[in-house]
Amino acid sequence: MSRQEVDQLNEIERMDKEHVFGTWSYQSEVSPTQVVGSDGMRFSDAHGNEFIDFSGQLMCSNLGHSAEKVSDAIAEQAAKGAYFAPGFTTEVRAKLGQKLAEVTPGDLTKTFFSTSGTEAIEAAIKIAKFYTGKDKVVSRYRSYHGATYGSISVTGDPRRLAAEPGIPGAIKAPDPYAYGSTLDPMESLEYIDEMLMLEGDTVAAVLVEPIVGSNGILVPPAEYLPRLKEIAHNHGALLICDEVMAGFGRTGEWFGCDIFDVEPDIMTMAKGLTGAYQPLGATIVNSEIAAHFEDNMLTHGHTYAGHPVACAAGLATIETYQEGNLIKHAGEVGEYLGERIEELAAAHPSVGDTRGVGLFRGIELTKSSEERMPFGERSDKLAKGSTVVDQVAGMAYENGAYVANMINTLIVAPPLTITPDEIDEAIAALDVALKVSD
């Protein structure tokens, strides 16, 4: 790199640091790296480094970085008509609505479009409240549902603390975390049952990630979600499944709830809906809830609801999953990923637990395997400085693999198109990195 190029690069990174807020950070600790290119499973920075994307950025780049069908659809729709108000429809919006009714389970039929996961949750909460006429939402501690005021209030992890007390009526329950909680996963359900009974007939919905994502990839026992639906319905509450991270093939099924054969009353989606090629959120409801709004106003909306370019990306993304048989591929190659992660666990004493399904896996690090002693507290992510799991991820990055992490857990969620050779490459980088925590 010439002296002039280095100066230019430094200037861009300085400009960004000075004028753009970093998310979820102390701004003094933010040091943005300029990314300049991407291809398939890889992306590269302006300093000449290339990385294999083992987390699909924020567990959202499900098609990798060069899905031509999607970028072509975006360009085509932008040329045809980049934006029309939500009162108008477009071919892509109507077709995407129909497509979502087709790929989501059972009777889920009508979608409210927004632009992100957090907005999909906001819509779900409001729809549940309007439909049931009740005010409260039960969600779980180890969960993340978004950063806006409503969705952060129903989030259970420490990110909610800065926004507390949040919106009224957001109540938290324990979760199915067999490794790190004293409560057995199925016992935690009975707690929710009792809690709903004690709340009286005031709870509109129980909101869960069927497979918990950023709080550590928690997969409940097979009977958990069916029983949760039964408990919610017994108490007159709806079941909302947040599929923002688990949805769209990552688990080897279209949605996390498909693994448990459960049809929620409302489902939220984003991330894999467009493989992150465009910002798009979606909240789909069953036909009974949809019918309610025929003569009851849906008092909700956004300027960009059903944005044509985002809908074009969503439609092309789902067609790409279908045409490439990618959901099945994710399940198959996901088995191999699971085996390779087990090998890592056997070789590294600091791996306390491994969890997951398909291409949605977590590696939880621990100071002491026998005592399951975590490296830090759950709220460490809110403190200044880097945690041990940050350092492991940093070392993997230095060795060419980008892996997201959160609260003692490395989160492996690569694009659905990953091959066994690419898995081997990223596992080799993790193998080196885990020496940091051993």
Residues that bind ligand PLP (CB under 6 A): 116-118, 121, 144-146, 209, 213-214, 242, 244-245, 270
The whole-angstrom separation of Cα 105 and Cα 263 is: 6
- Tell me how far, at minimum, the Cβ of 354 lies from ligand PLP, in Å: 20
Q: Cα–Cα distances in Å, from 260 out to 22, 221, 359?
A: 37, 9, 17
Which of 389, 413 has the CB closer to ligand PLP?
413
The whole-angstrom separation of Cα 276 and Cα 64 is: 9
- Tell me how far, at minimum, the Cβ of 390 lies from ligand PLP, in Å: 18
- Tell me how far, at minimum, the Cβ of 398 lies from ligand PLP, in Å: 25
Residue number with the smallest Cβ distance to ligand PLP: 117
- Tell me how far, at minimum, the Cβ of 377 lies from ligand PLP, in Å: 21
Reduced to 3 states, what is the DSSP secondary structure of residue 360? strand
Which of 112, 427 has the CB closer to ligand PLP?
112
Which of 131, 144 has the CB closer to ligand PLP?
144
Chain position carrying tokens 């279908």: 322
If we measure between CA atoms, which residue out of 316, 82, 355, 25 comes closest to residue 211?
A: 355
The whole-angstrom separation of Cα 12 and Cα 1 is: 15
Reduced to 3 states, what is the DSSP secondary structure of residue 204? strand
Reduced to 3 states, what is the DSSP secondary structure of residue 381? helix
If we measure between CA atoms, which residue out of 151, 138, 242 comes closest to residue 200?
A: 138
Chain position carrying tokens 């990923």: 337
- Tell me how far, at minimum, the Cβ of 62 lies from ligand PLP, in Å: 13
If we measure between CA atoms, which residue out of 199, 59, 190, 209 comes closest to residue 141?
A: 209
Which of 244, 345 has the CB closer to ligand PLP?
244
Instruction: Tell me the H-state helices in 85-223.
Output: 91-103, 117-132, 149-154, 185-198
Which of 220, 395 has the CB closer to ligand PLP?
220
- Tell me how far, at minimum, the Cβ of 240 lies from ligand PLP, in Å: 11
- Tell me how far, at minimum, the Cβ of 149 lies from ligand PLP, in Å: 12
Which of 273, 401 has the CB closer to ligand PLP?
273
The whole-angstrom separation of Cα 225 and Cα 211 is: 10
- Tell me how far, at minimum, the Cβ of 3 lies from ligand PLP, in Å: 39
Q: Is 56 left (phi over 0), alpha (psi -120 to 50) or beta?
A: left
Which of 262, 270 has the CB closer to ligand PLP?
270
**Do 324 and 293 contact (CB within 8 A), yes or no?**
no
Which of 109, 116 has the CB closer to ligand PLP?
116
